[in-house]
Structure 1
Amino acid sequence: MFKVLNNQAFFRFWLGQIISHLGDGFTRIAIVYLVATLSKDPLTIGLVIFAQLLPTAFFGIFFGPLADKYNRKWLMAGADFYRMVIVALMIPFHHSATALIILITFQGLGSALFDPARSSSIPDLVGEENIQPAISLSQSTRAAMDIIAPSVGALLMMANNYTIIFAIDAVTFALSAFFILSLRNLGKINVAKDVSTESYFNSIQSGVKEVIGMPALRFLLILLIPITLVCGILNTNLIAVLTNEFKVSAFHFGFIEAATAVGMIVGASLAAPFAMKKVKPSKIFLSGTASIGLWMILIIPLDRFHVLYGILPVYIWSIMVGILNAFLNVPLNSLFLKVTPAAFRGRGSSLLGITASTASMIGILAGGWLSKEVGVLYGTALSGALLTIVALLMPLLKGYRSLSDNRSTKMEPESKQPVAAN
């Protein structure tokens, strides 16, 4: 996995990811905790995630073609500088949950532009043969920053110093942009001669037609709807469980987030890559989906264990959440980049984001309603049961066989992959 860092261009790309995720982690933990404590309403807590996803759901279709037509380096750098300004504006408004949610929405516009460009740049930097190890490294890096950032963020929150948290995040966006701008060849790779001459709106139409026309990709998009919808419910309820049911402090809230990231590192850097050498990514994706659902059901006995043994069972449970998430995210991203034609990766990434974001937003609203009807604990368990049912039904669908049988989704052993220089 770490062999891809021998590529100096990807190494700088990766450093930019480290810095950006570090600052994002500070801000995310601060905003979630601020909104949770200011509102004490699961639906309002869900609006934080809702606001992050809204721009991708509504504007992603217009941003995806830009990653296929224009210089990705400048798109990503511009998005970073834009988000730097938005985060800086959060400093004077950190006492208002409403203002924070509005600013998060505007920050999401930058992410909606940045993410398709970043995803489609990975194969350009590492080559088609090294997509899977690059994805594993990217997921592991994100998880590592999710350990460090919430931990440091929790310490800063104990001092009630939210100004420093937002200021640090603003600076990290600027540093990330400078690392991206240092990549001279990024954005100069033309994946298809006719992409630059195709009109903007025609490129949107052709991108949708190409992605939807591929059985494996079409099934992947359809499958994401129920999965991300349930995950939206889970995201809303889990935060409410920690803050309102388990009554965790700001200190433990940050470190529980870090514990989840520890599991993600183990899963993304060790367990999932090892499994993908032995088993098809589609089967790992299936088992990961089922396992997360079953693990969410166990939140009911976790409540009892928390009463008997304190906070330790919550940390253990959170670590396993991270490990199981890796068995969903790593094969999903690898499958997408392997199956999508190079000339359509920007538009394909945007469609993937639109599908996931829209379903997640519906799930967030449903999660807020469900928590009020049955409580956050039983709402979380019920969501897990629904996710398990989805996983059990997946093999019965024709599209799953198409995804499973697609030759391009089979990963070669790492020993056969040439070393390349996110």
Structure 2
Amino acid sequence: MTERTARFRDVLAVGEFRVLWIAQVQSRVGDQFARVALALLVFDRTSSAALTALVYAMTLLPPLLTAPLLAGLADRYSRRAVMVTVDVARAALMALMAIPSLPLPVLAALVFAVTCPQPLFSAARTATMPRVLPGERFPVGVSIMTATDGIAQIAGFTLGGVVIGASGSPHLALAINAATFAASAAMLRWGIRAHRPQPDDLGRPAGGFALAGIRYVTGDRRLFGLAALVWLFGCYVVPEALAAPYAAQIGAGEAAVGSLMAADVVGGAVGAVIVAKFGAVLRRRLTVPLAVASGLPLIATVTGPGLPVTLAMWALSGLLASYVVMAQVEFTQLVPDGMRARAIGFAAAGLQTAQGLGIAAAGGLAEVVPASAAIGVCAAAGSAGALVIGAMCRIGRAADGEPPPSAVEMSGGRDRHA
């Protein structure tokens, strides 16, 4: 019998999901406005590529520490209140950053401060999604979020450059980002329910805090395996970081760098839409094969083929990397509601760490071998790692005596590992 999957219109008909979705898309566009503005602002003042890269990195690195530490708040308090509070705080901090002639050390401190609570917001939003979209609507909602998130990133980078070029002021882009945070806070405050975390079987709030999520994930072989598969994406994201030296290697010139960086994002958006139509059993069976296959197109470009072939292969890799969506869906469904934000926070911190380490390793390798070879080595490591993880952690096989993830009641599933 064919598995029944939710339709896009079934998901988009849910008012609370539309609020979460629109708030995320417009906020993501604003984030990219801010990244472009900060890069231009710092370089204009210092003419230092190193300082520019450092400030840009500060928009990514703080969550490595704050994700496991703060995510527990979303398992103790109303998730709507957590998201609104974070957005209001970020809107205020970003508005301060938009003040012209702000000293660079102060600007750097504000960048750090505005980035720190980001994983708390993400954990609260992701933990809320299964409550808003129970059953098979949840995977479709994640796919919609993932696809539009990639498109929003491309649009944000492009429009941010246009706005700054037309106005001549990076501060306007920062002010726009502050406005997107404020708009998100308003939409969430009046557009969704409180969504308090599910208590345990005795009616108590979930115990433990920062370390509880880490212990929960690492103590379960399947959960840890799913998280590890997601972390392997750090091996497949390196083409974005090496797009400039790769373009130089194949003689494509600087004009091709933007297209190369966008190729896997476009492929990922298409892949997210495709996997939205997969049923629970098919998602579980394809997660590891797609994780292994994601590296193969990147390995195929190790010889540095021409631009059209490279774009096609990198886009195909991005499409295959939609296994991340399926792994995230199963991971989220397997974790009980009262532990969900902390588990997600730990997994998210691991993903960001893996991306940073993957990019750093590829960059170091590209100093001694061609960029195409560095990309191929990282991709091969990712494919091999996926094979090992799939075999060791039973990914793709239902555990004995347990129902498939789609059978879990998402409005308040209990801890099946207790």
Same fold (TM over 0.5): yes
Contact residue 284 and residue 326 of structure 2 kept, 8 A: yes
Relative to the length of structure 1, the TM-score reads 0.78
Shift of 1:352: 0.8
Structure 1 distance, partners of 2:58, 2:397, is 34
Structure 2 distance, partners of 1:33, 1:65, is 35
Structure 1 distance, partners of 2:130, 2:309, is 40
Residues 260 and 222 from structure 1, CA distance in 2 versus in 1: closer, same or farther, beyond 3 angstroms?
A: closer
Structure 2 distance, partners of 1:33, 1:139, is 28
Q: 2:375 aligns with which of 368, 380, 389?
A: 380
Structure 2 distance, partners of 1:178, 1:385, is 45
Shift of 1:27: 3.0
Residues 203 and 393 from structure 1, CA distance in 2 versus in 1: closer, same or farther, beyond 3 angstroms?
A: closer
Partner of 1:362 in structure 2? 357
Structure 1 distance, partners of 2:60, 2:158, is 25
**Match for 2:82: what amino acid?**
L
Partner of 1:309 in structure 2? none
Secondary structure at the counterpart of residue 191 of structure 2 = coil
Over the aligned positions, Cα root-mean-square deviation in angstroms equals 3.8
Residues 231 and 313 from structure 1, CA distance in 2 versus in 1: closer, same or farther, beyond 3 angstroms?
A: closer
Residues 116 and 284 from structure 1, CA distance in 2 versus in 1: closer, same or farther, beyond 3 angstroms?
A: same
Shift of 1:346: 0.9
Map 1:18-417 onto structure 2 (within 5 A).
Answer: 18-29=25-36, 45=53, 50-91=57-98, 103-156=110-163, 158-159=165-166, 161-188=169-196, 190-192=198-200, 197=205, 202-225=208-231, 227-231=232-236, 233-238=238-243, 241=246, 246-249=252-255, 259-269=263-273, 271-274=274-277, 276-277=278-279, 280-301=282-303, 303-306=304-307, 315-325=311-321, 327-400=322-395, 407=402, 409-411=404-406
Shift of 1:170: 1.6
Contact residue 233 and residue 380 of structure 1 kept, 8 A: yes
Stretches of 4+ aligned residues off by more than 6 angstroms: 32-37, 92-101, 403-406
Shift of 1:130: 2.2
Partner of 1:420 in structure 2? none
Structure 2 distance, partners of 1:328, 1:50, is 26
Residues 278 and 384 from structure 1, CA distance in 2 versus in 1: closer, same or farther, beyond 3 angstroms?
A: same
Structure 1 distance, partners of 2:102, 2:258, is 19
Contact residue 121 and residue 186 of structure 1 kept, 8 A: no
Structure 2 distance, partners of 1:409, 1:36, is 52
Residues 408 and 114 from structure 1, CA distance in 2 versus in 1: closer, same or farther, beyond 3 angstroms?
A: farther
Greater RCO (Cα-Cα under 8 Å, separation 6 or more): 1
Shift of 1:379: 1.7
Structure 2 distance, partners of 1:183, 1:68, is 20
**Match for 1:297: what amino acid?**
I
Secondary structure at the counterpart of residue 372 of structure 1 = coil
Structure 2 distance, partners of 1:228, 1:67, is 26
Structure 1 distance, partners of 2:85, 2:245, is 35
Contact residue 154 and residue 255 of structure 1 kept, 8 A: no
Secondary structure at the counterpart of residue 66 of structure 2 = helix
Shift of 1:120: 0.3
Residues 94 and 76 from structure 1, CA distance in 2 versus in 1: closer, same or farther, beyond 3 angstroms?
A: farther
CA offsets 1:38-81 (integer angstroms, 9 cap, x no match): 6567x985x56753443222122221211111011121112222
Gaps of 5+ in 2: 1-7, 411-418
Contact residue 240 and residue 260 of structure 2 kept, 8 A: no
Structure 2 distance, partners of 1:3, 1:61, is 33
Residues 139 and 48 from structure 1, CA distance in 2 versus in 1: closer, same or farther, beyond 3 angstroms?
A: farther
Structure 1 distance, partners of 2:286, 2:382, is 15
Contact residue 75 and residue 341 of structure 2 kept, 8 A: yes
Shift of 1:281: 2.4
Secondary structure at the counterpart of residue 374 of structure 1 = coil
Residues 218 and 167 from structure 1, CA distance in 2 versus in 1: closer, same or farther, beyond 3 angstroms?
A: same
Residues 95 and 183 from structure 1, CA distance in 2 versus in 1: closer, same or farther, beyond 3 angstroms?
A: closer
Structure 1 distance, partners of 2:147, 2:134, is 19
How many residues in Structure 1 have an aligned counterpart in Structure 2?
397
Residues 231 and 171 from structure 1, CA distance in 2 versus in 1: closer, same or farther, beyond 3 angstroms?
A: same
Contact residue 23 and residue 149 of structure 1 kept, 8 A: yes
Structure 2 distance, partners of 1:185, 1:388, is 41
Contact residue 293 and residue 320 of structure 2 kept, 8 A: yes
Gaps of 5+ in 1: 307-311, 418-422
